[in-house]
Amino acid sequence: MSEKYDYDLVIVGGGPAGSSAAFAAAKKGIKVALLEKENSIAETVRTSGVTWIQNIKEFGIPDDCFNPIKNFSFCSPNNEV
């Protein structure tokens, strides 16, 4: 027998954007299901290596657990983004 679930919102993908959206919706009392194929959620996206500091603070992660980037540069083989 299958179980029945009742959610207001289903989010597919538990990366930084999906987990942030789920967290924000849940804070407003919305019943959220967050679906993720990996074993963990909210990991840094491997293409950018960046998680926004505002999101880190919303999750209650202590300041000594991350290092803000003060500046950066971007290079590409053909000088285009």
Q: How many domains does the chain have?
A: 1
- Stretch 6-23: mean pLDDT, rounded? 89
Asked whether residue 44 is domain-assigned, the answer is yes
| Domain enclosing residue 42, as ranges | 9-65
CA distance 15 to 17: 6
Asked whether residue 59 is domain-assigned, the answer is yes
What's the pLDDT score for residue 46? Answer: 53
Asked whether residue 75 is domain-assigned, the answer is no
Q: Which pair of structure tokens corresponds to residue 64?
A: 């000594």
C-alpha to C-alpha distances, 51 to 4, 14, 16, 42, 46, nearest whole angstrom:
34, 13, 7, 9, 10
User: Are 50 and 74 spatial neighbours (Cβ–Cβ below 8 Å)?
Assistant: no
pLDDT digits over 46-61, tens only? 555 566 777 777 777 7
Higher pLDDT, 79 or 14: 14
pTM value > 0.85? no
pLDDT over threshold 60, residue 74: yes
Give bridge partners of residue 11 from the DSSP assignment.
Answer: 34
Asked whether residue 81 is domain-assigned, the answer is no
pLDDT digits over 18-36, tens only? 888 898 999 999 999 999 8
